[in-house]
Amino acid sequence: MSNSRVIILTHNTLEAIGLKGLLRDVFAIDAHIADDGYFSTFNQSIEPHLFFIDKATLVANLAFFLPRKSKTIVLTTGNEVIEDIKTLNCSASESEIISAMSLLLETNHHEEKPSSTLSSREIEVLRLIAMGKINKEIAQELNISINTVLTHRKNLTAKLGIKSVSGLSFYAMMNGIV
Amino acid sequence: MALINHDSKLSEIILHDPSTITVLDRFGIALGVGDATIEQACSQHDIDVNFFVTILNTYINENYFPQQALEQFEVTEIVEYLSKTNSYYEHYILPNIERHFSFLIARAPSHNNNIIIMKQFFDEMKNELLQRINDDRDRLFPEVISNVKTLKTVSELSHNENATDTIEDKIDDLINMIVMHLKGDYDHNLGYAVIVAIFSLKKDIKQNNRIRRRILLPIYNSLTPQDE
């Protein structure tokens, strides 16, 4: 799950800090603790993957959360059930909370991981990067938009674990791409 | 780790994070620290205890911002600390990685050229780091000490700071390259020695870049520009 696309919205500060710590230490997820100002500055282009909210936040922002109920988890105390929305019982024991969270996070983990082998287009882009071309030139050469070039570069970095231009160039040399 | 204060014991700090040994060394404190607290060790070695605590906290804790304590430090202390850090890279860590790499290459079959290409990538990163070290020594540090900056615009400096990030990026890339893409025959123990040495460089650079950004940069920004 991508980092910082997990939002925690609860009026219980200690609960928020505890949840953030648990997500970080056990699940390696860097969650963001938001406050009520979140909704006024909400930016649709960076739609989060998951919300942990308290009941008051749910009630006050039903119009926001109902369309997002598949990725909303309501923090409760006790085995409270809220129709159609997943809940996490914050007064359960630590191990129960962790196993409940593993289940909740798994069901939200449907995004497919990109295959680790490079597509022929990505190899093309990699070859041009290694030749020292900038994004604009790559776009022109392959007749694609700069945004598409950026997407290819993002995927290259995700697949190879290499970000810098010189790192990518040396990788291309190692693998006979240039 | 919890924030370090005057009463923290040196031995506990080292046991928690052994990479602090190199930081203590830059202050003249060697292993064999006994039961001493920071306060005691600082008075024994004639170190400004507040500066020492700030450096250690910035080094250990990612979220620590030392802003309030800044004005009370002598710039010479910071420059001296960072000079020793540079010298540690130049004379110990980089040659160490290089030595491990040469053993790895020497022992690998000649047709395995991917290690040689990785070494070339390392050389490029190394040269960039050495260039920064030279620039620190010849320009940045003397300017900080003499309280005069010659850079005309702040953007030139922020460009420099981006270059700093590039060194971190390249070290990350080099590590990923070895972890994910090393192939062919090679001596596994030597491969391990190379990667561990690069990891320790990565950790030190990352933490000291934080010290550069949060302590040195604000000082540099407050310097008087030189009259044209």
All structural domains of chain A, each given as residue ranges with its CATH number in brackets, are: 6-107 (3.40.50.10140), 120-174 (1.10.10.10)
Contacts of B169 in chain A (CB under 8 A): 163-164, 167
**Both B113 and B184 in a single domain?**
yes
Closest CA of chain B from A156, distance in Å: 12
Residues in contact with A25: Cβ distance below 8 Å, sequence separation at least 6, in sequence order? none
Question: Does B29 lie in the same domain as B81?
Answer: no
- Tell me, yes or no, whether B209 lies in a domain: yes
B60 and B86 co-located in one domain:
no
CA angle B73–B77–B79, rounded 5-degree value = 115
Contact flag A171-B181 (C-beta cutoff 8 Å): yes
**Is B185 in the same domain as B108?**
yes
A163: chain B residues, CB-CB within 8 Å: 169, 172-173
- B223: confidence class by pLDDT, cuts 50, 70, 90: confident
- The answer on pLDDT for B228 being more than 60 is no
B26 and B138, same domain (yes or no) = no
Residue of A nearest to B120 (CA): A170
**Minimum mean pLDDT range among A11-25, A120-134, B66-80, B153-167:** B153-167
Looking at the structure, tell me whether residues B37 and B114 fall in a common domain.
no
In this complex, is the C-beta atom of A170 within 8 Å of any C-beta atom belonging to chain B?
A: yes
Range of the domain at B217: 74-225
* pLDDT, tens only, B94-135: 999 999 999 999 998 877 888 999 999 999 999 999 999 999
For residue B189, being part of any structural domain is answered with yes
- B102 forms beta bridges with none
Residue B217 lies in a domain: yes
From B42, B70, B98, the end of a domain falls on B70
pLDDT band of A128, cuts 50, 70, 90 = very high
Do residue B176 and residue A161 have CB atoms under 8 angstroms apart?
yes
pLDDT value at position B159? 44
Residue B162's pLDDT band, with cuts at 50, 70 and 90, is very low
Q: Do the Cβ atoms of B124 and A166 come within 8 Å?
A: yes
Are residues B100 and B66 located together in one domain of the fold?
no
In a domain, B187, yes or no: yes
What backbone phi and psi angles, to 5 degrees, belong to A44?
-65, -25
- Are the beta carbons of B117 and A174 separated by less than 8 Å? yes
Whether B143 and B59 map to the same domain: the answer is no
Q: A34-43, A129-138, A148-157, B7-16 — which is least confidently predicted? A: A34-43
Q: Is residue B183 part of a domain?
A: yes
Give the pLDDT mean for B136-159: 70
Complex ipTM more than 0.85, yes or no? no
Residue-level pLDDT at B213:
83
The pLDDT, as a whole number, for residue A112 is: 47
- Each residue of A129-166: pLDDT tens digit? 999 999 999 999 999 999 999 999 999 999 999 999 99
Closest to B56 in 3D by CA, of B74, B32, B29, B34: B29
Chain B residues whose C-beta is within 8 A of a chain A C-beta are: 113-114, 117-118, 120-121, 124, 166, 169-170, 172-174, 176-177, 179-181
| Range of lowest pLDDT (A29-43, B77-91, B197-211) | A29-43
Residues of B whose CB is below 8 A from A170: 117-118, 120-121, 177
Chain A: closest CA distance from residue B79 (Å)? 30
Q: Cβ contact (<8 Å) for B177 and A162? A: yes
pLDDT band, residue A3 (cuts 50/70/90): very low
**β strands within A4-158, DSSP E:** 6-9, 32-33, 50-54, 72-76, 86-89
Check whether residue B58 and residue B149 sit in a common domain: no
In chain A, what residues touch B174 (CB-CB under 8 Å)? 167
Q: How many CB atoms sit inside 10 A of residue A63's CB?
A: 8
Contact A164/B173, CB-based, under 8 Å?
A: yes
**Selected residue with higher pLDDT from B161 and B58:** B58
Domain boundary among B53, B70, B87: B70
**Total domain count, chain B:** 2
Verify whether the Cβ–Cβ distance A164 to B176 is below 8 Å. Answer: no
Say yes or no: A116 contacts chain B, CB-CB below 8 A.
Answer: no
Determine, yes or no, domain membership for B24.
yes
Question: Does A171 lie at the interface with B, CB-CB under 8 angstroms?
Answer: yes
Asked if the Cβ–Cβ distance from A167 to B181 is below 8 Å, we say no
The reply to whether B45 and B121 lie within a common domain is no
My answer on whether B173 and B192 are in the same domain is yes
Question: Averaged over A93-117, what is the pLDDT?
Answer: 74
Residue B3: inside a domain: no
pLDDT band at A52 (very low <50, low <70, confident <90, very high): very high
Is residue B54 located within the same domain as residue B155?
A: no
Q: Which of B130, B107, B104, B86 is nearest to B195 (CA)?
A: B104
- Whether residue A78 has pLDDT greater than 50: yes
Beta partners for residue A87, in sequence order = A74
Chain B interface disruption, residue of A129, A157, A171, most B CBs within 10 A: A171
Residue B4 forms part of a structural domain? no
